[in-house]
């Protein structure tokens, strides 16, 4: 089975940009997601990036 590999720190940075942009664009609740990103493990980062449409 093929398993994809991801640069987790790059995904984390892209998620910070994604939620930071949302926060500055009138969705202040996105700051909560920014805090969660820092505490997520690798698997959670990949899942969150998929939900956000980054990957």
Residue 1 has what pLDDT?
66
Domain tally, the chain: 1
pTM over 0.75: yes
Q: What is the mean pLDDT of each run of 10 residues along the chain (55 residues)?
A: 86 95 88 91 96 94
Q: Is residue 1 included in any domain, yes or no?
A: no
Q: Is residue 12 included in any domain, yes or no?
A: yes
Tokens of 3: 């398993």
Q: What is the largest CA-CA distance in the chain?
A: 43
Q: What share of the chain is helix, strand, coil (3-state, %, to 5)?
A: 70, 0, 30
**What's the sign of the alpha-carbon dihedral 15, 16, 17, 18?**
positive
For residue 37, what are the domain limits?
8-52
């Amino acid at each position: 089975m093929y398993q994809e590999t991801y640069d987790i720190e790059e995904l984390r940075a892209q998620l910070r940009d994604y939620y930071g942009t949302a926060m500055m664009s009138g969705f202040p609740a996105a700051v909560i997601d920014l805090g969660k990103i820092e505490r997520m493990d690798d698997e959670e980062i990949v899942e969150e990036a998929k939900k956000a449409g980054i990957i």
